[in-house]
Structure 1
Amino acid sequence: MPWSNILEVVMLICFAAAWPASIHRSWASRTRKGKSLAFMLIIVVGYLAGIAKVLVSHTAIYMLIPYTLNTTLVLCDLALYYRNYRIDNGLPVPF
């Protein structure tokens, strides 16, 4: 495994470590205040670009694991953003 891939995996693991705290905050606070939809969408696009890079380059397929994990975590936070948006506006919550 090249050093560049090792360092990329470490970076993605560090990012992944931060998302559960953000998800917990979104779940517990029941508000979207303090969250940025644009920021989360930009992060998802970045992770999807990382996944596309791995698929296009046909090398280091194991890199799909941290990219997919991080994308899933951000999508969970986005789902909670949607739930909290509905709570903030007094609309029925689907979950």
Structure 2
Amino acid sequence: MSIFEAIMLICFGAAWPLSIYKSYTSRDNSGKSISFLYIILIGYIAGIIHKLFYNYDLVIYLYILNFLMVVTDIMLYYRNKGLSRI
């Protein structure tokens, strides 16, 4: 297990709860880029696949946690987009 990979994922992951909270409470997508969210999601998917096939270790759980937080933010993006139409 690479401690540096774990630190990177922890640092990246620390930002997602704040982003999710802002998306949920503001009900607004200003400042959000759905393209950016999907690019990040693809990166986490690639990390998970790499861990599954080439270097399985406990860091995979950080990738999965971050993946789930990005999916949550994407779902809130579409919810907020629907709310802005009303």
Q: State the distance in 1 between where 2:56 and 2:43 align.
A: 18
Of 10, 13, 23, 2:7 maps to 10
Runs of 4+ in 1 over 6 A off after TM superposition: none
Shift of 1:60: 3.5
1:87 paired with 2:83, answer yes
Rg comparison, structure with higher value: 1
What fraction of aligned residue pairs are identical, expressed as a percent? 45
Aligned pairs (5 A) from 1:10-89: 10-57=7-54, 59-89=55-85
Shift of 1:34: 1.2
Higher RCO (CA-CA < 8 Å; seq separation 6+): 2
Structure 1: gaps spanning 5 or more residues: 91-95
Structure 2: gaps spanning 5 or more residues: none
Q: Over residues 17-53 of structure 1, what are the superposed CA-to-partner deviations in whole Å (9 max), with x where a residue is unaligned?
A: 1000000110111011211000000000000000011
**What is the RMSD of the two structures over their aligned residues, measured on CA atoms?**
0.9
Aligned pair count reads 86
- With the length of structure 1 as denominator, give the TM-score of the two structures: 0.86
